[in-house]
Amino acid sequence: MFSTTDKTYLDQLNDTQRQAVISNDGPCLVVAGPGSGKTRVLTYRIAHLLQSGVKPWEILSLTFTNKAAREMKTRIEKVVGASAQNVWAGTFHSIFAKILRIEADKIGYPSNFTIYDTEDSKSLIRNIIKDMNLNKDHYSVNSVYSRISSAKSNLIPPALYLKDKELMDQDRRQKRPFLGELYKQYMNRCKKAGAMDFDDLLYRFYELLHKNPDGVREKYQRKFQYVLVDEFQDTNHLQYEIVRKLVSYPDSPNNITVVGDDAQSIYAFRGATIQNILDFEQDFKSKGIKIFKLEQNYRSTEHIVQAANDVISYNKKQIKKVIKSEKGSGNRIRVIRSMSDNEEGKRVVDLIQEQKSRLHLHNSDICILYRTNSQSRIFEEYLRRAGISYKVFGGLSFYQRKEIKDMVAYFRLIVNPNDEEALRRVINYPKRAIGNTSVEKISDMAKSMDSSMWDAIPFAPLTGKARRSVDGFVDMINKLRKQLDSVDAYELATKTVHAAGLQDELKKDTSIEGLSRMENASSLLDAIKEFVDSVDDTAEETADVGLTSYIQNIALLTDQDSSVDENNFVTLMSVHSAKGLEFPSVVVVGMEENLFPSFMSSDSAEAIDEERRLFYVAITRAEAHLTLSFASSRYKFGQMRYNEPSRFLNEIGPQHLDMDFNTLSAGQSGGFQRPTSPSVGSSSSAVKGYFKKPSPQAPKVDLSNFTPSPASSIAAGQKVLHPKFGEGKVLSVDGGRDKRVATIFFKAVENPQKRLMLKFAKLQIIS
């Protein structure tokens, strides 16, 4: 039946993989653990169908990315030849768009319908909000877009939305009672324009199958004899319903294969539901479903794999499996505890330098993963200082994000009002009725006067509302400028954000992306607060903590290096962006309660389970070296906050961990104790027991016996005494000669980490 080539490709599979490949008919669930050869099984299964005589155009293979579809066809072609190109393999959106082009007239659309991208959709929503005279603060474009997308993904058309009491009550509570009507108008205007948005490519395809004009449903049920779905755990309700309609009919052979891993279901915020893969067995049980569990991990070493098993075992809703590795035990998982987020950045970069030197890893072998994109800032700064090439994926580099550039532009303008680029960027942001025409009038006047635009503003030919708005903007900037020499950078930055209305502007967007932008803005203010607090307020030197000094400081950080090696860089990305990738060394940072797991998940068992699956994904990206890092304190909203280690650390068996707590006092040893039962909303007392929150009480220092030590003798690792801050530990010393600065952790003060210039600081070495 098979040629030598056929036998060769089957010989590349282990027993379970082979059974999953050759089991052609009927419903099939392939539960594929991380690094278990999922893609190989899926592509070889299609190749095997073709080798068994199935026509390529009778096979429908649905993926989530075009890259995955191309890779699949390429792999199949290596086994069966050019016929692989006739398989219907592609993303849900691309395949359904292709069919809709053929059948669009049956649901009232032209065959040449337009596909609206996200910006097109948002522009239409913006116009409808204006036409309906709705409050733009309550009906922000992004939140309305997300709400409509969610409704379509859950098969709720406008008519049902308007009758749904729960949905309407939610909208009323959020001060947007007309959202249902807005949704109705949006759908009507899309159809009148002969346009579909991305969600419509699924929604209208479902409509086509459901209404079944001219027997369209039976046509495609007969056409696609075999349906395969990759990454099934990432499907939403609508996608699963479409697939079921294609395979569920009288006398159907139910030739459907889904491949996925419930433990890697991490996209609930996009509408994906883990329930699809959990319910699949029950939905097709009566059809003789076959289940194959791919439990052999070919990616990671034993300690990493077992740690992942330990963590995911705490989730109640799951398909039970035990992942195994044959790559040897490998290194234990390194756990780094830092005193602050700033120190975490330094220690992680020190670790990277160590791995490059001692383990001969390349930059491209290393990945830093974080829960939120706003965390990238500190690691970017330390990587730049160390001269290590890096790239931020799944988002822009911190200082290149729009919300950050807007804030920095305001700060630049306050420091230097003649900064034309900064002026142009913010003069009408947030919108204050200063249009392009007004800006160009100011620009033309500046040219005629041979002056800066700022100096030309009083003389520009502006009238009415434009003049009042420009004058109001100038007054605001001038009031802030008067405080440049009297308040520190953090206070002035905070006043600027409020005076300009930046915070209120960002708050309007309640979507996931909007919340992320708010986090980024908050992170920038935290960075400024850290900049201010890093200078000892009792030091005798005239330290500059003003906004001018801060702007000069970040100008060096935001200057993009031209020497970045395009083929050898450290990868920085969120855990969500890392799914499907793998690296020899992975560092997961910010492993703290209310950060990972996120504070938004603390009151829901289901949300904690999703956060745990996200951590599982993070762990299983590592091939040989895994590091977990957390900080005992972190700036949040301008305040130093003390953090408990993430509960997830405590769910890993201590035999897999290598503690790296260089700040532990004598007598503290051992590993994390595995709790007898996990609980939502609390982290392990065993982990918390290691680190007590510093007392906020001021230390008492006996000055009668206090003798400052020579500044030249202060070194990292020493315990020292300060007349105001009490006992502390020197974490690091940098700078040369008269400019040596020590970073010291004082455990008994509210903001424990201080940076003191040693030639002025009075420190007594006590050990």
Strand segments (E) across 328-480: 333-338, 366-370, 390-392
Which of left, alpha, beta for 37 (phi over 0: left; psi -120 to 50: alpha)? left
Q: Is the dihedral of CA 70, 73, 78, 83 positive or negative?
A: negative
Residue from 231, 381, 533, 593 carrying the catalytic annotation: 231
| Radius of gyration, CA atoms only, the chain | 30
- Taking the C-alpha atoms of residue 622 and residue 754, their distance in angstroms, rounded to an integer, is 35
Residue from 171, 200, 207, 230 carrying the catalytic annotation: 230
- Taking the C-alpha atoms of residue 574 and residue 372, their distance in angstroms, rounded to an integer, is 6
Residue from 40, 75, 204, 621 carrying the catalytic annotation: 621
Residue from 239, 264, 318, 355 carrying the catalytic annotation: 264
- Taking the C-alpha atoms of residue 515 and residue 31, their distance in angstroms, rounded to an integer, is 34
CB-based contacts of 79: which residues, under 8 Å, 6+ apart?
5, 6, 9, 44, 47, 51
Separation in Å, CA 627 to CA 97, 337, 390, 651? 43, 11, 18, 15
Residue from 17, 38, 221, 592 carrying the catalytic annotation: 38
- Taking the C-alpha atoms of residue 525 and residue 719, their distance in angstroms, rounded to an integer, is 31
Say whether 231 is catalytic.
Answer: yes
The total of other beta-carbon atoms located within 10 Å of residue 2's CB is 12
Residue 743 is inside which H or E element, if any?
strand 741-746
Confirm if 182 and 131 have CB atoms less than 8 A apart: no
Confirm if 200 and 190 have CB atoms less than 8 A apart: yes
Q: For tokens 């699809």, what's the residue?
A: 276
Residue from 16, 19, 39, 538 carrying the catalytic annotation: 39
Long-range contacts of the stretch 520-524 (C-beta < 8 A, 24+) = 520/373, 520/374, 520/398, 520/401, 520/403, 520/404, 521/403, 521/404, 521/407, 521/497, 522/374, 522/636, 522/637, 523/374, 523/375, 523/377, 523/398, 524/377, 524/404, 524/407, 524/408
Confirm if 525 and 638 have CB atoms less than 8 A apart: yes
What's the gap between Cα 81 and its chain centre? 39
Q: Which two tokens stand for residue 766?
A: 């006590």
- Taking the C-alpha atoms of residue 519 and residue 108, their distance in angstroms, rounded to an integer, is 43
Q: What is the DSSP letter of 318?
A: S
Say whether 230 is catalytic.
Answer: yes
Q: Which two tokens stand for residue 262?
A: 């419930």
Separation in Å, CA 242 to CA 201, 238, 709? 12, 6, 75
List, by residue number, the catalytic residues: 38-39, 230-231, 264, 621
